[in-house]
Amino acid sequence: MVDAPPPIHLHFRDTAPPPRNSPPSQSPTPVSHPRMASEDLTNMRSVPIWRARDTPIRSMYRLYEAMAAGEYYAIGPEVEYFWYQRSWILSRLPDPRDYDPVRYAILASIAEELAKAFNWQLSLGMRRDKRKHIYRKTLEDVLPPYTPETAPSWTKHVPPIDLELIADLPDALDSSGRLVLEAGGKSPAFAERNIVTDSGHFYTV
């Protein structure tokens, strides 16, 4: 078994995206704030006013924070929470226009992985409205077709991480100079942007 790398020190701002008028960044900067503990997030999700004020962008940043901190156990609950927010249309997820190029690349890959994970759930008969889950009596029963989820269009324009920007993070790079969030990871959506990680945590039922 390959040991997991230490947490990657990338900049983030709690669970809120950075302001769009922030100055451009040429390199990732150190973590400045600890992320909210998973047990605290679980409690907050049960508060109606917190859920009412929450946004899909904030949820996506929480997924980013969990990955950057190496807390992959927090991804499944967050993905499930996003899934059941029926008003959060993934294809309409606004472009965060994050000024940190490394973080922006990770966010784009997260959005694309969410689309794949959601389609996997739909293929199993799950629906974003819990009342409309489709259950098969036997494995031979054919599930009805579904409208697939798609990633927001802005992800197509987010480039891979420039390896020169992360060259000063030797403990977090593989032999090709790519950013390693999870050793041995093989997620294509992340690999396209020079990020090594697995994505099994996104697939939850």
pLDDT in tens, 31-42: 334 455 555 666
What CA–CA distance (Å, rounded) separates 109 from 202?
Answer: 12
Helices (H), the chain: 38-45, 48-53, 56-68, 75-83, 101-123, 188-191
For the segment 140-164, what is each residue's pLDDT rounded down to a tens digit? 667 778 889 999 999 999 999 999 9
User: Is-contact 161 190, C-beta < 8 A?
Assistant: no
User: Is-contact 13 32, C-beta < 8 A?
Assistant: yes
How does the average pLDDT of the chain come out, rounded? 81
pLDDT of residue 17: 59
**Does the pTM exceed 0.85?**
no
pLDDT of residue 192: 96
What CA–CA distance (Å, rounded) separates 152 from 201?
Answer: 21
User: 173: which strand partners?
Assistant: 179
Residue whose C-alpha is closest to residue 178's, from 121, 110, 106: 106
Number of H helices and number of E strands within the chain? 6, 2
Q: Where are the domains of the chain?
A: 38-202
User: Is-contact 195 179, C-beta < 8 A?
Assistant: yes
Residue 179 has φ and ψ, to the nearest 5°, of -75, 125
| Least confident stretch, 100-104, 155-159, 201-205 | 201-205
What CA–CA distance (Å, rounded) separates 106 from 116?
Answer: 15
Residue scoring higher pLDDT (6 or 167): 167
For the segment 45-97, what is each residue's pLDDT rounded down to a tens digit? 666 676 778 899 999 999 999 999 988 999 999 999 999 998 999 999 999 99
pLDDT higher than threshold 60 for residue 7: no
